[in-house]
Chain A
């Protein structure tokens, strides 16, 4: 079974530029998550989708971050404009149903460096 795919794997940009990340979840997984993991910290949930609807985006900095999952499969996360403190690994995860006792499967992440 194919896992969660993410691209690009690495991205270096200058502050105030824009950047977009792409995620393809495991086939059939209705729930998709975007996390931000800053060095030395645990992942922090940014947004959770159930199919193509947003379930939770309370920790998403909406002035600069946006995400969509138009057809309920792939998702993109955008940062516009980027700040230095956005340097982190952006992890996408998916699960069959919202995670209560259901395992979340993580992709390899996109490592972002903002200069």
Chain B
């Protein structure tokens, strides 16, 4: 079983749609959780950290369920510029990246 698993997609959605990505992790001792965004042929960039209480940043909402070892990212009112690969990242002494979920937002 992979340490961090994500649905690879691709997710193709129209502008304005709401889309949700899921991620599961295998190490129950994991300490910190993040979502990174990676544009095509570019480096990953931090989108947001994920806290136990859930957190929101504009159109983006991240949630963590430690009991189920599950992390989610919700994007509301999708924009064309949201098209990218979204990487789920789990930290336990080092950063473990999922393979990413590819999102394409279409006009």
Q: Is the CB of A103 within 8 A of B93?
A: no
Q: Is the CB of A42 within 8 A of B100?
A: yes
Across the interface, B99 reaches (CB within 8 A) one of A33, A40, A101, A107, namely A40
A64 is an interface residue with CB less than 8 A from chain B = no
Q: Is the CB of B99 within 8 A of A45?
A: no
Closest to B97 in A: A42
Across the interface, B91 reaches (CB within 8 A) one of A40, A91, A100, A109, namely A100
Q: Is the CB of A43 within 8 A of B97?
A: yes
Docked Cα-Cα span, A33 to B94, in Å, equals: 10
Docked Cα-Cα span, A107 to B100, in Å, equals: 19
Residues facing A in B62-76 (CB within 8 A) are none
Q: Which of B12-20, B41-49, B52-60 contacts A (4 or more CB under 8 A)?
A: B41-49
Secondary structure dominating the interface of A: loop
Q: Is the CB of A108 within 8 A of B94?
A: no
Which of A40, A43, A100, A108 is packed against the most chain B CB atoms within 10 Å? Answer: A43
Chain A residues with CB below 8 A from B42, complex form = 108
Across the interface, B94 reaches (CB within 8 A) one of A48, A101, A107, A109, namely A48
- Name the interface size band of chain B: 20 to 34
Closest Cβ–Cβ distance, residue A100 to chain B (whole Å): 5
Across the interface, A41 reaches (CB within 8 A) one of B32, B43, B45, B99, namely B99
**Residues A101 and B95 in contact in the complex (CB < 8 Å), given A43-B44, A107-B43, A108-B43:** no
Q: Is the CB of A106 within 8 A of B45?
A: yes
Chain B residues with CB below 8 A from A45, complex form = 94-96
A99 is an interface residue with CB less than 8 A from chain B = yes
Q: Is the CB of B46 within 8 A of A56?
A: no
B27 is an interface residue with CB less than 8 A from chain A = no
14 A-B interface contacts by CB (under 8 A):
A33-B95, A41-B99, A42-B87, A42-B98, A43-B87, A45-B96, A48-B94, A56-B94, A99-B91, A100-B31, A100-B91, A101-B49, A103-B46, A109-B43
